[in-house]
Chains A and B, each alone.
Chain A
Amino acid sequence: MKKDKAKRIFAESYLAIVLAVLYLPILVIIVFSFTNNANFSFANGFTLEAYTSIFTSEKTPALLDALKNTFVLAIVSAVVATILGTFATIGIFYLKPRLKKITLAVNQLPLVNSEIVMAVSLMVFFATFAFPQGWTRLIIAHVSFCTPYVVLSILPRLKQMNSNLYEAALDLGCKPLKALTHVIFPYLSGGIVNGFVMAFTISMDDFIITQINKGQTGIETLSTFIYEDARLKSLEPFWFAVFSIIFIVVMTALLIVNLKKNNAKEG
Chain B
Amino acid sequence: MKKTKGFTLTRRAFAYPYVLFLLLFVVVPLVLILLNAFWVDGALSLDNFVEFFSDVTGLKVLENSLIIGFATTLLCLLIGYPTAYFLSKYHASSKVYVLLFILPTWVNFLIRTLSTKAIFLALGIELGMGTVVFGMVYNYLPYMILPLHTAISGIDKSLIEASHDLGANNLETFVKTILPLSWTGILSGITMVFIPSVSTFAISELLSNRQIFLFGDSIQTKFSQNMYGVGSVMSLVMLLLVVLFNLLVNRAGGNDDDVSRSML
Q: Spell out A's residues near B (CB within 8 Å).
A: 8, 11-12, 14-15, 18-19, 21-26, 28-29, 38-40, 84-85, 87-88, 90-95, 99, 103, 106-125, 128, 140-141, 143-144, 147, 149, 151-153, 167, 170, 176, 198, 201-202, 205, 207-208, 211-212, 222-223, 226-227, 230-231, 234-235, 239, 243, 246-247, 250-251, 254-255, 258-259, 262
- Cβ of B165 < 8 Å from any Cβ of A? no
Chain A residues with CB below 8 A from B264, complex form: 254, 258
With both chains docked as a complex, state the minimum distance between the C-beta of A160 and any C-beta of chain B, in angstroms: 15
Least Cβ–Cβ distance between A88 and chain B, in angstroms:
3
| Residues in chain B near residue A167, CB distance under 8 A | 4
CB <8 Å contact, B138 and A22: yes
Further contacts, 13 of them, CB under 8 A, given A114-B199, A117-B199: A22-B104, A25-B119, A40-B119, A113-B239, A114-B239, A121-B33, A122-B25, A125-B29, A128-B32, A201-B106, A211-B201, A243-B115, A251-B107
Closest B residue by C-beta to A265: B95
Q: Assess whether A259 is in contact with B29, with CB atoms less than 8 Å apart.
A: no
Interface on chain B toward A: helix, strand, loop, or mixed SS?
helix
State whether B99 touches A258 (Cβ < 8 A): yes
Count: A-B pairs, CB below 8 Å: 243
A112 & B191 in contact (Cβ 8 Å cutoff): yes
Q: Which stretch (B15-23, B42-50, B54-62) binds chain A? A: B15-23
Contact of B103 among A116, A254, A262 (CB under 8 A): A254
Cβ of B162 within 8 Å of any chain A Cβ, yes or no, is no
In the complex, what residues of A have CB within 8 A of residue B15's CB?
87-88, 90-92, 94-95, 103
Q: Is there contact, CB below 8 Å, between A205 and B108? A: yes
| Contact status B90-A11, CB under 8 Å | yes
The reply to whether the CB of B238 lies closer than 8 angstroms to some CB of chain A is yes
Q: A25-B119, A39-B122, A140-B25 are in contact. Are A88 and B89 (CB under 8 A)?
A: no
Contacts of B116 in A (CB 8 A): 25
Contact A170–B3 (Cβ < 8 Å): yes
Which residues does chain A contribute within 8 Å of B181, judged by CB atoms? Answer: none
Task: For the complex formed, measure the closest distance between the CB of B213 and the CB atoms of chain A, giving whole angstroms.
Answer: 13
Residues in chain B near residue A243, CB distance under 8 A: 111, 114-115
Which residues of A lie under 8 Å from residue B141 when comparing CB positions? Answer: 18, 22
A231 touches B205 (CB 8 A): yes
Measured in the bound complex, the distance between the Cα atoms of B99 and A24 in whole Å is: 17
A167 to B1, CA, bound (A): 9
Q: Is the CB of B202 within 8 A of A120?
A: no
B175 interface residue (CB < 8 Å to A): no
Report Cα–Cα, A107/B19, bound state, in Å.
9
Asked if residues B30 and A147 are in contact (CB atoms below 8 Å), the reply is no
Residue of A nearest to B15 (CB): A91
Query: Which chain B residue lies CB-closest to A150?
Result: B18
B174 within 8 A of A: no
Cβ-defined contact, A226 with B110, below 8 A: yes
The interface residues of chain B lying within 8 Å CB-to-CB of A198 are 262-263
Distance in angstroms between the alpha carbons of A8 and B89 in the assembled complex: 10
A38 to B201 CA separation, bound complex (whole angstroms): 26
Chain A residues with Cβ below 8 Å from B232 are: 124
Assess whether A152 is in contact with B19, with CB atoms less than 8 Å apart: no
| Minimum distance in angstroms from A103 CB to a CB of chain B | 6
Q: Which residues of B contact A94 (CB under 8 A)?
A: 8, 11-12, 15
Contact status A124-B228, CB under 8 Å: yes
Judge whether B82 is part of the interface by a CB distance below 8 angstroms.
Answer: yes
B196 within 8 A of A: yes
What residues of B have a CB within 8 angstroms of the CB of A235 in the complex?
Answer: 114-115, 117-118
Q: List 11 A-B contacts (CB under 8 A).
A: A18-B83, A18-B101, A90-B14, A94-B15, A111-B261, A114-B196, A117-B235, A124-B33, A140-B25, A226-B114, A234-B117
Residues of chain B in range 45-90 having any CB-CB distance to chain A below 8 Å: 79, 82-83, 86-87, 89-90
| Residues on A with beta carbons closer than 8 Å to the beta carbon of B109 | 205, 207
Interface residue? B142 (CB, 8 A): yes
Known: A22-B138, A25-B116. A15 touches B220 (CB 8 A): no
A144 in contact with B107 given A202-B262, A207-B202 (CB within 8 Å): no
Known contacts A11-B90, A94-B11, A147-B18; A124 and B32 CB within 8 A of each other = yes
Name the residue of chain B whose CB is nearest to the CB of A87: B14
**Neighbouring A residues of B201 by C-beta, 8 Å:** 115-116, 208, 211
